[in-house]
Amino acid sequence: MDATVLHAPGDIRLDQVPDPQIIRPTDAVVRVAAACVCGSDLWPYRGISKVSGPRRIGHECIGVVEETGSEVSTVRAGDFVITPFLWSDNTCAHCAVGMQAACANGGGFGGPDRDGDLVDGCQGEFVRVPLADGTLVATPEQPDEAMLPSLLALTDVFVTGWHAAVSARVQPGQTVVVVGDGAVGLSGVLSAAMQGAERIIAMSRHADRQEVATEFGATDLVAERGEEGVARVMELTGGIGADAVLECVGTKESMEQAFASARPGATVGFVGVPYGAEAPITQMFRRNVGLAGGMAPVRGYLDELLPRVWGGEVNPGRVFDKTLPLAEVAEGYRAMDERRAIKVMLRP
Amino acid sequence: MDATVLHAPGDIRLDQVPDPQIIRPTDAVVRVAAACVCGSDLWPYRGISKVSGPRRIGHECIGVVEETGSEVSTVRAGDFVITPFLWSDNTCAHCAVGMQAACANGGGFGGPDRDGDLVDGCQGEFVRVPLADGTLVATPEQPDEAMLPSLLALTDVFVTGWHAAVSARVQPGQTVVVVGDGAVGLSGVLSAAMQGAERIIAMSRHADRQEVATEFGATDLVAERGEEGVARVMELTGGIGADAVLECVGTKESMEQAFASARPGATVGFVGVPYGAEAPITQMFRRNVGLAGGMAPVRGYLDELLPRVWGGEVNPGRVFDKTLPLAEVAEGYRAMDERRAIKVMLRP
């Protein structure tokens, strides 16, 4: 089959690789209907995280179950499924409390599983999904084409924004600041709105992203960054700061922005993989500002969020502003790297 | 009057100083019935935090209102009062949400107020308390002698332990680890029990403190530290870790212990002034372990906690295991520094 392989920083290709097979009775193989490029895929693409040799990549896809192992019972061939970006048994002690991202038996896509067998990356034609019963969630019916972007957003980006808002403990009526106007930040805006925030200040300086932020429920846009950005947030909040802050980037600057925007007693919900970000413990102590978040336990949120997306209440797929055939995956990475696209959908 | 002055590390004395006066119409002067030495007083005493010259010290006291300024209306001369370790207006935007520790107009004891006038330290005969209406809380009647330690504990130590448990979001039925067996850690054990924790693992290796921890509700005692301590917690929790962790020390080692004891999705509630402690942001991200806490907004919790103490439901004053006349304050500091006492009460 065709699958995306990152050969070296900047060198992403669609290669011929072996078709995935059912290896264990708990596996399923999914034929990918749509996949996408994540902001975190850009870290190795840019060489910021190490690339030690050719590697499969991509961790977000939706598609149709092609085949299942003999012990799989909750999905079957032909089902249309959401594939959370981490696979999990959904039964261990961590999964039982909604922490599927820390599943005792789980793992990620694009590398070896716990027995050393490759789990395919999601930017390809097919994917072997371990622990299919605990991982895959089938849609009620086959979806329309128009629904695909929002279903794809459920595999990671939308739910990661949701996790930021949950981690920041957004409450109805609150004022929320969202740092980062990438697809996750925009999803955070949508999530804060769904969780009842009254005022949502989106830190964004790109017109296309400001437009999506506003559609998603942002009430205020702050284009300034650094000290000027903080000053603007303070001006907008009467000098008090935000009740909750969503940090959706992971850099030193974005984390500083987040903490400086938080009022005493607030929580910064963080979901951007930390690259240089630090938790300012003395400031946190003095101002009683908490930090919570991490990798989103997508599977745990799907029982609530899939019906809300399927029912048309929200359209998180709005973050996809470019669709390319899988064969043009390299252009997809370039478009995201150069910020010509917010998020790119790939169609095998 | 007599008041405690820290002249240099290790050099603590009872000096003659001017009697406090009402300076502003919102002030009160309190005649101290009992004061105490805080673990954080030991930082400058030990020279770990800088001592640039003789300074008044102490931030915990209870006593009788001696005199009030013309605008003070909620307490009057003769009232027995709890003096939270920070003074606050209790009306600003931060106080309004229970964050009195960040009061826009508040401050601490033992140094200058916002106009540069000295606010007495609490280890003395009298204390000028600014913003008396927003700070002081009167008891329903004059207390018995036997009640004094528990009322004194309400000025800081007990409520700081309470804040750790609130910050760690302890829920009924949970398993909680408390790192630190000083007076704050022990108060954290009591607070976790009051908040419904089913299992409370106290990290403690001193027999006298283990005894108090057990009285306060600890179900398990772990004397080991470092990797062995973590291994023991993991053994006790079936390899899962604690649902909530209270970090009541503030050192690098104690914070590492706290994070290593937390299960994914847990929150570390921290109340020890950070001296060397770091927030391990990558570990926090990978494991979804949050960090929250800081200086306890004592005033905000008193409406709930004073009646519970006054009614005899709990006896947080149990942490005081040594009482000395104020004149022997130097011995009080030595006893705490050398761990011969958990917490020392001083009687002027």
Contact B130, B113 (CB under 8 A): yes
The reported pLDDT for the residue numbered B244 is: 98
User: Cβ contact (<8 Å) for B284 and A297?
Assistant: no
- By DSSP bridging, strand B55-56 and strand B2-8 are antiparallel
User: Cβ contact (<8 Å) for A99 and B292?
Assistant: no
The reported pLDDT for the residue numbered B88 is: 98
User: Cβ contact (<8 Å) for A240 and B273?
Assistant: no
Token readout for B58 is: 């102490």
Q: What is the pLDDT of residues A291-344, one digit of tens each?
A: 999 999 999 999 999 999 999 999 999 999 999 999 999 999 999 999 999 999
For chain A, list residues whose CB is within 8 angstroms of any CB belonging to chain B.
93-94, 97-99, 101-102, 167, 238, 240, 263-265, 267, 270, 273-274, 277-279, 281-282, 284-295, 297
Contact B288, A301 (CB under 8 A): no
- As a whole number, mean pLDDT of residues A99-123 equals 96
Q: What is the pLDDT of residues B318-333, one digit of tens each?
A: 999 999 999 999 999 9
Q: What is the pLDDT of residues B243-269, one digit of tens each?
A: 999 999 999 999 999 999 999 999 999
Query: What 3-state class would DSSP assign to B112?
Result: strand
User: Cβ contact (<8 Å) for A294 and B291?
Assistant: no
Q: What is the residue extent of each domain of chain B?
A: 2-156+297-347, 158-293
Token readout for B157 is: 């130590």
Q: Give the separation between CA A170 and CA A272, rounded to whole angstroms.
A: 18
What proportion of chain A, given as a percentage, has pLDDT over 90?
Answer: 97
For chain B, list residues whose CB is within 8 angstroms of any CB belonging to chain A.
93-94, 97-99, 101-102, 167, 238, 240, 263-265, 267, 270, 273-274, 277-279, 281-282, 284-295, 297
Backbone angles phi, psi at B273, to 5 degrees: -55, 125
Structurally, what CATH architecture does the domain formed by A158-293 represent? 3-Layer(aba) Sandwich (3.40)
Mutation site for B-interface testing, chosen from A91, A251, A281 by largest number of B Cβ within 10 Å: A281
Domains B2-156+297-347 and B158-293 share a fold: no
Q: B276 to chain A nearest CA, in Å? A: 10
Q: What is the pLDDT of residues A6-50, one digit of tens each?
A: 999 999 999 999 999 999 999 999 999 999 999 999 999 999 888
The reported pLDDT for the residue numbered A211 is: 97
In this predicted structure, the answer to whether residue B49 has a pLDDT above a threshold of 90 is: no
User: Cβ contact (<8 Å) for A292 and B291?
Assistant: yes
Q: What is the pLDDT of residues B229-248, one digit of tens each?
A: 999 999 999 999 999 999 99
Q: What is the pLDDT of residues A132-153, one digit of tens each?
A: 999 999 999 999 999 999 999 9
Q: What is the rounded average pLDDT for all residues in chain B?
A: 97
- As a whole number, mean pLDDT of residues B147-156 equals 98
Q: B268 to chain A nearest CA, in Å? A: 10
- As a whole number, mean pLDDT of residues A281-288 equals 97
Which distant-in-sequence residues (6+ apart) come within 8 Å of B241 by Cβ?
B233, B234, B261, B262, B263, B264, B266
Q: Give the separation between CA A53 and CA A55, rounded to whole angstroms.
A: 6
The reported pLDDT for the residue numbered A49 is: 86
User: Cβ contact (<8 Å) for A294 and B274?
Assistant: no
Q: What is the pLDDT of residues B105-114, one digit of tens each?
A: 999 999 999 9
Q: What is the pLDDT of residues B301-320, one digit of tens each?
A: 999 999 999 999 999 999 99
Q: Which residue among A97, A263, A278 sits closest to B265, beta carbon to beta carbon?
A: A97
User: Cβ contact (<8 Å) for B94 and A263?
Assistant: yes
Q: What is the pLDDT of residues B163-193, one digit of tens each?
A: 999 999 999 999 999 999 999 999 999 999 9
Q: Give the separation between CA B77 and CA B29, rounded to whole angstroms.
A: 9
The reported pLDDT for the residue numbered B236 is: 98
- As a whole number, mean pLDDT of residues B202-220 equals 97
Q: Which amino acid is at B155?
A: T
- As a whole number, mean pLDDT of residues A125-130 equals 98
In this predicted structure, the answer to whether residue B287 has a pLDDT above a threshold of 90 is: yes
Q: What is the pLDDT of residues A41-89, one digit of tens each?
A: 999 999 988 889 999 999 999 999 999 999 999 999 999 999 999 999 9
SS3 of B278-334: the string is CECHHHHHHHCCEEEECCCCHHHHHHHHHHHHHCCCCCHHHHCCEEEEHHHHHHHHH
B289 — pLDDT class (breaks 50, 70, 90): very high
CA dihedral A284, A289, A294, A298 (to 10 degrees): 170
- By DSSP bridging, strand B344-347 and strand B322-325 are parallel
Q: Give the separation between CA A263 and CA A288, rounded to whole angstroms.
A: 9
Which residues of chain A are within 8 Å of residue B93 when distances are taken between CB atoms?
A: 238, 240, 263
| CATH no. for B2-156+297-347 | 3.90.180.10
Token readout for B262 is: 């937390």
Tell me the angle at which helices A207-216 and A183-194 cross, rounded to the nearest 10 degrees. 20
